[in-house]
């Protein structure tokens, strides 16, 4: 788990792109586009241009049209502890990526989990902006403790059931 954050601290955000078969390296996102611990943030990127997210090693892509589904992006939070899978930037079925909503759950000083939802505009009416929302949800320490207790008890009950089943199967085969 990411730890040692204070409210308002910059959370490391990395991005990675793939264009056709060319996978780029992880690159740090500028601080003004990165989330701050426990502070909801809305970012609007104007004039989304596919050439801005093509991996630098892919010189063949400059100035050419890309094919739907060939450009994807992934994000990493908190020193590579939380990842998104590859997110389509454009596809014929979904359209053009218009919005990404990240939900980051945290306790007093650490990130506990990350979820995300994407929204697309149609290719007939492509979005002029890419909106990125970072929303934070506080997880009460007591809720976290109870959740761990439930997992522990569930594991113990499963183990007891497995042991009882094994004993029963031995008695039946003997």
CA distance 119 to 172: 56
CA distance 40 to 137: 9
Instruction: Kindly give the residue spans of alpha helices, DSSP state H, lying in the chain.
Output: 141-173
pLDDT of 89: 85
pLDDT of 46: 66
Q: What pLDDT band is residue 93 in, cutting at 50, 70 and 90?
A: confident
pLDDT of 61: 46
How many Cα atoms within 13 Å fall on the side-chain side of residue 30? 4
pLDDT of 169: 82
More confident residue, 1 or 168: 168
pLDDT of 51: 41
| Span 129-163, pLDDT tens digits | 999 999 999 987 666 566 777 788 888 888 988 88
CA torsion sign for 4, 8, 9, 15 is: positive
Q: What is the mean pLDDT of residues 113-135?
A: 90
47 pLDDT above the threshold of 60: no
Question: Residue 28: beta bridge partners?
Answer: 14
pLDDT of 32: 92
Q: Quote the pTM value.
A: 0.70
pLDDT of 145: 66
Q: How many CB atoms lie within 10 A of CB 5?
A: 19
CA distance 166 to 173: 11
Average pLDDT value for the chain: 82
149, two tokens: 């207790």
Number of helices (H) and strands (E) in the chain: give both, helices first.
Answer: 1, 11
CA distance 144 to 38: 17
54 pLDDT above the threshold of 70: no
Q: Are 87 and 71 in contact (CB under 8 A)?
A: no
76 pLDDT above the threshold of 60: yes
């Amino acid at each position: 788990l990411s730890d040692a954050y204070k409210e308002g601290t910059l959370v490391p955000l990395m991005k990675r792109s793939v264009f056709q078969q060319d996978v780029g390296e992880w690159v740090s996102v500028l601080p003004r586009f990165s989330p701050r611990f426990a502070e909801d943030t809305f970012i609007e990127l104007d004039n989304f241009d596919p050439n801005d997210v093509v991996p630098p090693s892919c010189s063949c892509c400059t100035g050419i049209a890309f094919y739907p589904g060939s450009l994807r992006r992934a994000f990493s939070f908190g020193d590579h502890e939380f990842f998104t899978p590859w997110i389509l930037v454009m596809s014929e079925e979904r359209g053009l990526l218009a919005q990404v909503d990240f939900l980051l759950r945290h306790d007093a000083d650490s990130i506990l989990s990350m979820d995300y939802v994407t929204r697309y505009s149609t290719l007939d009416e492509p979005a002029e902006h890419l909106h990125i929302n970072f929303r934070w949800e506080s997880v009460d320490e007591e809720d976290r403790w109870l959740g761990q207790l439930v997992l522990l008890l569930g594991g113990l009950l499963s183990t007891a059931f497995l042991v009882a089943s094994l004993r029963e199967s031995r008695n039946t085969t003997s």
